[in-house]
Structure 1
Amino acid sequence: MDFYMKLPRNKKEFTLFLLVISIVSVNIIAPLITFLEVGFSKETYFNTLQVIPFIWLFVVILVLLTHTPAEKITKKIIHKDDSFNSVVTINILVNVLLMSIFMTIIGTWIGSRSVTFDVFHNYLNVWPRNFAISLAIELLIAHPVARLILYKLHISKDKQKAA
């Protein structure tokens, strides 16, 4: 029942789910990683706010591009008898892994407003931190918020059908 109540049932709900997760994630992860990279300041925060729409656009594009490969990888890892929570956790882990690999590069390019190969010099030092931050935000904030919204939406729709 959890599965049916907390996951998108159609394309419209998938769009809502994607929007909630991506907006919550980008608005927390981008400033946090930027603060750790260049320091905590009001100026840094306002500079980050200026590039968040571009980061969000690339996040949405990458989610759509990595969705199918992530599903395939998840299916290879999980067992048919695994619980809803374990399947969701593995799926989030795989999605964040794929997204963080690309967004560590793309986010740096967007944030610095230049496409250079300098990002690759520190990649192996920066990516694990970015992955850990992203995974924590996704597991503890973004996905629970999105699933709660879908759960409330489904309860509301089910009540309307019953009435």
Structure 2
Amino acid sequence: MEFYMKLPRNKKEFALFMGIISIISVNIIAPLITCFEAGFHLYVYQDVLTVLPFIWLSVIAIVLLTYVPAEKLTAKIVSKGDSFQAHIVVNILCTVFMMSILLTVIGTWVGTRSITWEPIRMFFFKWPRNFAISLFVEMCIAQPIARLAIHRLHLRMDSKVNS
């Protein structure tokens, strides 16, 4: 029942779900990681705001790129009979794992507005922090809010059908 009520049922709902998660995530994760890199100053945050739309587009593209592989990896780890929470936690872990690998490099390129070897050279120093920040934001903030929004949408839609 939770799968039916708290997750998207069609492409339109998937777009809404992905939009909520990506907007929340990008607005928290990108400034936080940048501030850890360059310092917690107002001018650093203002600079992040100028590239945030481009980072958001990168995130959307990478979500679409990693969606199917993350679903397949999730299916290998959990079984059909496992709980909703188990499926969600494993799916978030798989998705954040794949996305954080790509965004540690691509996000740096977009944020610095230059393609260099630096994010690849420093990957193993920066990726664990980026993964931890992303995992926390996804598990504790973005995904719960998006699932709540979808759940309320489904309750509203189901009440219209029943009345």
Do the two structures share a fold, i.e. TM-score over 0.5?
yes
CA shift for structure 1 position 6: 0.3
Give 1:84's aligned residue: 84
The superposition leaves residues 78-131 of structure 1 with CA deviations (integer Å, 9 ceiling, x where unpaired) of 122210001011001000000000000011111111000111221100000000
The superposition leaves residues 31-62 of structure 1 with CA deviations (integer Å, 9 ceiling, x where unpaired) of 00001011000000000001110000010011
Give 2:102's aligned residue: 102
Secondary structure in structure 2 of the residue aligned to 1:82: coil
TM-score (norm 2): 0.99
Give 1:21's aligned residue: 21
Q: Structure 2 CA distance, aligned partners of 1:92 and 1:29?
A: 15
Identity of aligned residues (%): 55
TM-score (norm 1): 0.99
CA shift for structure 1 position 153: 0.3
Q: Structure 2 CA distance, aligned partners of 1:11 and 1:81?
A: 25
Aligned length: 163
Q: Structure 2 CA distance, aligned partners of 1:148 and 1:70?
A: 22
Secondary structure in structure 1 of the residue aligned to 2:97: helix
Give 2:122's aligned residue: 122
| 1:134-153 alignment runs, 5 A limit | 134-153=134-153
Secondary structure in structure 2 of the residue aligned to 1:65: helix
Q: Structure 1 CA distance, aligned partners of 2:69 and 2:123?
A: 23
Secondary structure in structure 2 of the residue aligned to 1:129: helix
Structure 2 residue runs without a partner (length 5+): none
Give 2:65's aligned residue: 65
Structure 1 residue runs without a partner (length 5+): none
